[in-house]
């Protein structure tokens, strides 16, 4: 007798389990885009269907399913950014699938009909209740960056209703950026750009504030990129002929240089002025924001080039140099070793050789060694070989370090200086202590 109530309950449960849920129904679908149907454009979906279900959207041309979330009873929304390689056109099929318990239903549309008008005839659009006036975004700002590049940090701040959650949608960045409420109604957060990001500052950056079931959005109204003030002057580089260079007379000689203004506003061509030995040759030169060039047949002698320019921020630059043409080239190229005498003794390890020759001359330096090892054998090795250029005073230096330091090793140093086709040489013998 005591088991009878339990038996009654056990027989009643299957009867209640036979009750079927309400039929799943998809009433409408609305699709919007922030631009053309091309990679980087964002699609926004809004479906009205039976509440408390799970809804997804499939678009022909897009590889993955787009999940929708229920933001209010029966209203499902979602977003998707078209990826590279995905082809979406307005005649492509769109399928909405809704799962409610163990029941599933689907509705098919084309993008053209759901983007232009409600897809289901004779069905009135759902009544959307606007969010309360109290839910609003007072301010949405960012600390501007100098340029969009990997490693740059974006710092966002938003003021609005307290107790909510804030997400920032960056066009070209896969994941949304979450802001944290640091004090009531004030949200802050940041994002560091990665190499894989393709941030497009020309598209809107949208902040979404959600408090419970209420949602409000705002577009970023300040520039994301704001270059810093240009207070650095440009530079004149890659000069031709080089400082102190000797060039042959006869054929036309090209005189040129490049303008370098890293991160600046660039050189204003109208401010470029080129003087050749005091004569203004700017009208005869080809001038661009990045360089100038000028060709002329010059008589033998020494010439000076004086270049002045300004960038678009007003920063000035000046550079002058000289070169020789033909007979003005010195016929004598001296070559002198300053810090070692012939047959001198060195301690081993690293040895420095200092010398002097004609200004800006080219110096070919070579060092070979020979050592006696037990058994009467001689071991030779090539120690150093390098082409150097003397400075404006003719000074040069180099350091050689043998692989093996054996007492008694002999080092043969050979130097050849060249300028304007004139050469001179010097030799030096050193011994390992």
Tell me: domain 335-432, CATH 2.60.40.10, correct?
yes
Distance CA 289, CA 268 (A): 6
| Class of domain 235-328 (CATH, top level) | mainly beta
Q: Identify any residues that bridge with 66 across adjacent strands, giving them in sequence order.
A: 57
pLDDT for 123 equals 53
Query: Which regions in the chain score pLDDT beneath 70?
Result: 1-22, 116-134, 227-230, 263, 327-331, 375-376
User: Hey, what are 393's tokens?
Assistant: 């005073």
Distance CA 159, CA 185 (A): 6
Single out the residue of 356, 365, 355, 367 nearest to residue 401, CA to CA: 367
Distance CA 278, CA 268 (A): 22
**Model confidence, pTM:** 0.33
pLDDT for 134 equals 65
Model confidence pLDDT, tens digit, residues 374-410: 766 778 888 899 999 999 889 999 999 888 778 888 9
pLDDT for 328 equals 47
Model confidence pLDDT, tens digit, residues 198-224: 888 788 999 999 998 899 999 998 888
| Class of domain 20-116 (CATH, top level) | mainly beta
CA 110, distance to chain mean position in Å, is 39
Q: What DSSP character marks residue 24?
A: P
Range list for CATH 2.60.40.1220 in the chain: 235-328
CA atoms within 13 A on the CB side of 295: 3
Q: In degrees to the nearest 10, what's the CA dihedral of 246, 249, 253, 256? A: 20
Contact 178, 198 (CB under 8 A): no
Contact 98, 28 (CB under 8 A): no
Contact 78, 36 (CB under 8 A): no
pLDDT for 129 equals 56
Give the DSSP letter string of 316-348: EEEEEEEEEEGGGS-S---EEE-S--TTEEE-S
Fold adopted by 137-219: Immunoglobulin-like (2.60.40)
Tally of helices (H runs) and strands (E runs) in the chain = 2, 31
Single out the residue of 161, 162, 144 nearest to residue 153, CA to CA: 144
Cis, bond preceding 56 (omega within 30 deg of 0): no
pLDDT for 55 equals 94
User: Hey, what are 188's tokens?
Assistant: 């802050």
């Amino acid at each position: 007798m005591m088991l009878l109530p339990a038996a009654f309950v056990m027989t009643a449960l299957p009867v209640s389990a036979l009750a079927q849920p309400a039929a799943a129904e998809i009433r409408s679908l609305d699709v919007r885009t922030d631009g053309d149907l091309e990679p980087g454009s964002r699609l926004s979906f809004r479906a009205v269907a039976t509440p408390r279900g799970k809804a997804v959207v499939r678009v022909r041309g897009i590889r993955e399913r787009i999940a929708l979330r229920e933001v209010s009873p029966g209203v499902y929304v979602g977003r998707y950014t078209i990826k590279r390689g995905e082809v979406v056109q307005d005649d492509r099929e769109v399928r909405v699938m809704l799962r409610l318990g163990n029941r599933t239903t689907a509705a098919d549309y084309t993008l053209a009909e759901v983007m232009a008008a409600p897809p289901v005839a004779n069905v009135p659009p759902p009544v959307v209740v606007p969010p309360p006036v109290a839910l609003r975004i007072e301010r949405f700002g960012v600390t501007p960056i100098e340029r969009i590049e990997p490693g740059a940090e974006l710092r966002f701040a938003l003021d609005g209703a307290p107790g909510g959650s804030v997400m920032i949608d960056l066009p070209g960045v896969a994941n949304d950026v979450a802001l944290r409420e640091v004090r009531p109604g004030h949200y802050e957060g940041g994002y560091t750009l990665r190499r894989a990001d393709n941030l497009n500052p020309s598209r809107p950056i949208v902040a979404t504030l959600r408090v419970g079931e209420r949602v409000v959005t705002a577009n970023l109204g300040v520039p994301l990129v704001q270059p810093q003030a240009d207070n650095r002057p440009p530079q004149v580089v890659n000069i031709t002929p080089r400082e102190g260079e000797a060039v042959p007379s006869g054929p036309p000689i090209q005189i040129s240089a490049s303008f370098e203004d890293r991160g600046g506003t660039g050189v204003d061509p109208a401010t470029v002025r080129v003087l050749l030995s005091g004569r203004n040759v700017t009208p005869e030169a080809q001038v661009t924001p990045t360089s100038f060039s000028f060709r002329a047949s010059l008589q033998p002698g020494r010439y000076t080039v004086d270049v002045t320019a300004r960038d678009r921020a007003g920063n000035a630059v000046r550079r002058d140099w000289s070169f020789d043409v033909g007979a003005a080239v010195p016929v004598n190229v001296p070559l002198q070793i300053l810090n070692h005498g012939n047959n001198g003794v060195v301690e081993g390890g690293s040895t420095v050789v200092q010398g002097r020759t004609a200004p800006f001359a080219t110096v070919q330096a070579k060092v070979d060694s020979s050592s006696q090892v037990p058994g009467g054998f001689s071991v030779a090795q090539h120690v150093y070989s390098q082409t150097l250029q003397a400075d404006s005073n003719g000074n040069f230096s180099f350091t050689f370090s043998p692989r093996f330091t054996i007492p008694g090793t002999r080092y043969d140093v050979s130097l050849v200086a060249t300028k304007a086709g004139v050469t001179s040489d010097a030799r030096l013998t050193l011994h390992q202590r």
